[in-house]
Structures are given as structure tokens and as C-alpha cells.
Amino acid sequence: MRVTWTADGDVWRLRLRLDPGEGVVGTVTDGQEVELATDTCHVRLPRPAAPDGAPVHPDLLALAAWTVVAPWTTRAVLFDRPISAELAAALHDGWGVEAGPVGGDPRSGTRLAISYSGGADSAAVAAMLPDAPLLHFRRVSHPRVPNRWTHYRSDVLAGLAAKTGRDVTPVESDLEFLLRRPRPGYPEHHAVMAGAVLLADAMDLGGLALGYEIGSRWLGGGRYVHRYTPDNPMWSPHGRWGRLFAAAGLPLVLPAGGISEAMTMRVALGSELRDQVRWCLRGDGAGPCGRCGKCLYKELIQAAVERRPMRTAITADRPVARKWQQPPPYGGQEMIEYGCAHVPGIEDTPFASAAKYLQATRESTRWLERCYPPAVEEIPGPWRAGIEKIMADEFGFMGPEDVERVESWGRR
């Protein structure tokens, strides 16, 4: 794999070239197969990437590029400027690829910024860290790839982020259109931070916080495997991505890594950001669409947090509700259990079958209201004590029995 960056004002253009033997079908760290649609993409920054016309640190350019090209790289990656030996070592140890050319010193920075999508998880993190700047990734169309996903309203989400009243840096990119299959999206989940990485010197960043909660970090949630994942290759500090970001002076920080989606939602909806929180990708200025799978799933959680019946027009026979008619395991199953245990009248909702299968109770789901201590222990030093205090004050920590529930997840 060869990659080159070209800067044209505030637009950074990335071109990739496959080596002989590399194909257009690659594999993301989470196992998803992805097919390449084209060979260029761009990132538009709202401010220069380095102060006073200084060059951007090559490790940042290499890291941003790697979040895009990793799935298709097999044996080696050649960047267009020399990277530090530390970054090359992290690429070698994590992926087994030879990375070069090598030369120059590693970088560092001091501030913590938040990769902010506007969903409940990242809004919760923003509420916990009121002084941290927010970086918002906005999808824009690609000049050569038709957009067949016009229902994804990235303009609405960017508008909501801008209304938070926070220090928000919007970054625009068409990098998601590099994927022909399965649909436009981040080549690696970490590509959402491409703009934040490019701006790390300009903003003196020394860490990037994300909204990933206990399900994504420790329970193999979402589209991943249903099991305890201490060595999560995407989000653990000692995993390949954690070590790579740390080598570039930007350790990944998961302030909500020890709490559940129900708790991040409670924090987000109880915060000043409440009116800007939006997990639905399809809704417009008037509100979420109320018809998509994400709206259904999140309404279950919100109803559970608010201890009230669900408000949804979606019925069990709709395609977006189909998976909840099947037996478990489910993606995000811990939240389905929590929802089924706390929503009055669950038997009259699309989750009635799931509730019968799961047999969850308030007692069996109480662990999802407390913080898993190892999640705090892995937060980098400068930010650990602050997060630990919030976790202790807002949620309290899990005892041995709760911890056992986390660490046996998917085994019973």
C-alpha cells in the first residue's frame, strides 16, 4: 500500500495505491469485509492543520491515512514522509506490516478533545468533560461516487453539533464513499477521527475521547461478537489501535467505557446538551424519524431509563423489528435485557418475544447501572482521577458479583 497526502488550502486529499497482490476486498478490524470503490478521498479542515504554516507532524498524516487504508493493506505501507520509529513499531506489532520510511521524532500534545457524533454516548462524554473541545465528523458527497444514501442527514447532525454552544470543530470528509460494499461508512471505525488526528498539532491535542460505552468496549456489543472482550482490538489501550494512537501522542480515552448505554443516555438527557442529542441518522430539523431500527432500539432504552411505557408506532411485524422476534443472542443484548426489565407493558411492544426469551429482571440488570472499575483503570493518567470521581459520584462502582457478570458475559 502506498499513500500520499496533498494539501490544497484547508483540503487534504488522500490517494492510495494498492501493491501487487492487494485486492479491492479488505477486512476491517471487527471482521467486516469491505470493498473499495475508488482511490481518493479528502478531509476538509476548518483551520490550518499546523500553527503558522509549520508542517504537520508526519505521524499524524500517517495515522489519519492508516484509519482509511488499513483494511486493504497486506504486507507493507509506504507513506509519503518519514514516520517515527515508534509509529512504525506500532504498525509492525499490531498488523505485521512493514511501515516506512522511518525517520524523525514522535510527537506529543496536552489537551483532551472529544470525537463528538451528537448521539447519547458522545453527548454524555461531552457533558462529563465540559471544557473539552468537540470535533464533529460530517459526511459530504464524493465527486466520483454517487450517493445512494441520501436519507443519512449528516447536515442535520452537524447543525445540532453547532448548536451545543461548545467549542465545536466541524470536519468534512467523503472518506466513507471509499466503500462500495457493504455501504458508505468508515473504512475502520477509527476513521471518524481522521480530521481530529490531522488537527492534533493545531489544537495541541494529547488524547482523543470517544463515547464508546461498556457494551462496545467490554461486551463485544453491536455488530461484534457476544462475549467479554478485555482485549478488544479496536478500543483497548493495549490493542493494536490503542497502541498506534498512543504512539502518535494521541491515546484513546473512553470516559464512558465502564457504564452502560442506559447510563450514558441518562447523563446525556439530563445535561445541557439534551436538546441537541440525536441518535437517529435520518431525522430532520423537526426530530428523529421514529421509524428506523436505531430509533426503536434507543426508544426502548430511553423508556427504561424514564421507567415509562414505550412511545413508538413501530409494530412487531415491521422489518426493523424482525430481529427482536428471534431468540438471542442480540447485538447490544445487555440493553435489551435492561429495557425488557424496566419498561412497563413490554408485552405490548415489538420486544415482547425478546422479553420472554431473556427473562431479565430489575435485579438481574442492576449491574448495568454501575461502573466497571477496570474501565477507569485504563484511562490515561492525566484524565483518570477526574473520570473516577464522576463515576463514583454518579453511578458507584460494581462489586465482585457485578464484575463477574461482565467477565462471564456471553458464557451463560
In terms of CB distance, is 65 or 156 closer to Zn ion? Answer: 156
The minimum distance between CB 116 and Zn ion, in angstroms, equals 19
Q: Which is nearer to Zn ion, 236 or 276 (CB)?
A: 276
Reading phi first (left if > 0) and then psi (alpha if -120 to 50, else beta), residue 291 is in alpha
C-alpha atoms less than 13 angstroms from C-alpha of 408 in its C-beta half-sphere:
9
What CA–CA distances, in Å, run from 42 to 143, 167, 174, 280, 328? 10, 23, 6, 25, 41
Given CA atoms 245, 197, 43, 272 in this order, what sign does their dihedral have? positive
- What DSSP designation does 224 have? S
Q: How far is the CB of 303 from Zn ion (least distance, A)?
A: 15
Q: CB 149 → Zn ion: shortest distance, Å?
A: 14
Cell numbers 513499531: residue: 89
Q: Which is nearer to Zn ion, 86 or 299 (CB)?
A: 299
Quick note: the x/- pattern for Zn ion over 227-266, rule CB under 5 A, is: ----------------------------------------
Phi, psi of 270 (to 5 degrees): -95, 5
Alpha-carbon distance of 317 to 314, in angstroms, equals 8
- Is the CB of residue 133 less than 8 Å from the CB of residue 161? no
CB distance 97 to 91 below 8 Å: yes
Q: Least distance (Å) from Zn ion to the CB of residue 286?
A: 12
User: By C-beta, is 314 or 343 nearer to Zn ion?
Assistant: 314
* Closest to 39 in 3D by CA, of 19, 16, 5, 23: 16
Residue whose C-alpha cell is 494539501:
7
Fill in the amino acid letter for 63. Answer: L
Q: Can you give the length of the chain in residues?
A: 412
Query: Between residues 9 and 319, which has the closer beta carbon with respect to Zn ion?
Result: 319
Tell me how far, at minimum, the Cβ of 345 lies from Zn ion, in Å. Answer: 22
Neighbouring C-beta atoms of residue 27, cutoff 10 Å: 12
* CA neighbor of 214 nearest in space, from 293, 121, 129: 121
Q: What minimum distance in Å lies between the beta carbon of 123 and Zn ion?
A: 16
Question: How far is residue 320's CA from residue 325's CA, in Å, rounded to a whole number?
Answer: 11
CB of 185 vs Zn ion, minimal distance in Å: 17
Of 138 and 282, CB closest to Zn ion: 282
* Residues 408 and 228: beta-carbon distance below 8 Å: yes
Q: Per-residue x/- marks for Zn ion, 322-341, CB under 5 A?
A: --------------------
Nearest to Zn ion of 147, 312 (CB atom): 312
Helix, strand or coil, per DSSP, at residue 36? strand
Task: Say how many residues touch Zn ion, by CB under 5 A.
Answer: 6
Residue nearest to Zn ion (CB): 280
* Residues 119 and 278 sit within 8 Å (Cβ to Cβ): yes
The alpha carbon of residue 89 and the mean position of all alpha carbons in its chain are separated, in whole angstroms, by: 25
Query: Using CB under 5 A, which residues numbered 384 to 403 contact Zn ion?
Result: none
Measured from the CB atom, is 289 or 403 closer to Zn ion?
Answer: 289
Q: Give residues 266-305 in contact with Zn ion (rule: CB under 5 A).
A: 280, 282, 288-289, 292, 295
Minimum distance from residue 289 beta carbon to Zn ion (Å): 4
- Closest distance between Zn ion and the C-beta of residue 151, in Å? 9
Within residues 41-70, the interface with Zn ion by CB under 5 A covers none
> Distance between CA atoms of 64 and 196, rounded to whole angstroms?
9
Nearer to Zn ion, 102 or 289 (CB): 289
Shortest Å, Cβ 270 to Zn ion = 22
Our CB check for Zn ion shows the closer of 185 and 288 to be 288
Could you say whether residue 89 binds Zn ion (CB under 5 A)? no
Residues that bind Zn ion (CB under 5 A): 280, 282, 288-289, 292, 295
